[in-house]
Structure 1
Amino acid sequence: MEIKQLIDDYIHWLKKEITFEKIGEYYEITTPFLNSANDFIQIYVRIDKDTIFFTDDNSEKFYFI
C-alpha cells in the first residue's frame, strides 16, 4: 500500500471517529485518542469573529487570530 492511501485511510477514520457537540458558546470536540487516565481527549473551541479560542477544560487558555 502506498503512503498516500495510508494517509487517506487515516483521515477517513479520524473524520468518522471525531465527534462534536455544541455546549453553550463552545463546541466540545471528542477525539478517538486516549489520555493517561484512559479517557478520550476532549478540547473545547469557541469562535468569536476572527479569533478562535481553544481550551481543554472550558476555561479559555489558548487563542489564535
Structure 2
Amino acid sequence: MTLNIEHLLNDYYRWLKDKTAWKELKDWVEITTPYLDCHNDYIQIYLKQEGDSYILTDDSWTIDDLEQSGCILDSDKRQKFLEVTLNGFGVHKNNNEMFVKTNHQILL
C-alpha cells in the first residue's frame, strides 16, 4: 500500500475547514477550532486586522486557565521558562494575553 501524502493533507485541510467555526464579534473574529483543551472544550482564538497586520490572541485564556488549575507563574524561573517557550514560537505576551502579530502576506 502506497501512502499518498498529498491525499492525506487534502483530507486533513478539508476536515479542518469543515470543523472550524468563524463568528464576527465587532472588530474581532472568534475562531472555534475542532481541537480540544484539557477540559474537552473546543479551543478558541480571536483574530483582528490592524492595517496590513493581523493579530491572533487567546484573550488571556491559556495563562488564566493554568493559574486556575494551580500552575502559578509567579516565580522568576517560571516567568523565564514561559518567555523562552513563547519566543520559540514567535508568541508575545501582554499581561496574561498571548498573541501573534503578523503581516497579511504570511497568512495568504
Whether TM-score is above 0.5 comes out as yes
Q: Does 1:62 align with 2:100?
A: yes
Unaligned runs of 5+ in 1: none
Query: CA contact under 8 A between 1:53 and 1:61: conserved in structure 2?
Result: yes
Distance 1:34 1:63 in 2: 24
Runs of 4+ aligned residues of structure 1 deviating over 6 Å after TM superposition are none
Q: 1:60 to 1:46 in 2, by over 3 A?
A: farther
Query: CA contact under 8 A between 1:27 and 1:44: conserved in structure 2?
Result: yes
Which structure shows the bigger proportion of residues in strand conformation? 1
Distance 1:6 1:37 in 2: 28
Which structure shows the bigger proportion of residues in helix conformation? 2
Deviation at 1:4, TM superposition (A): 1.1
Q: Residues 29-48 of structure 1 correspond to what in structure 2 (within 5 A)?
A: 29-48=31-50
Letter in 2 for 1:56: D
Q: 1:2 aligns with which of 1, 4, 28?
A: 4
Equivalences, count: 65
Unaligned runs of 5+ in 2: 61-96, 104-108
Deviation at 1:60, TM superposition (A): 7.2
Letter in 1 for 2:101: Y
Q: Percent identity?
A: 35
Deviation at 1:62, TM superposition (A): 3.1
- TM-score of the superposition, structure 1-length normalised? 0.86
Query: CA contact under 8 A between 1:53 and 1:60: conserved in structure 2?
Result: no
Task: Tell me how large the CA RMSD over aligned residues is.
Answer: 1.8
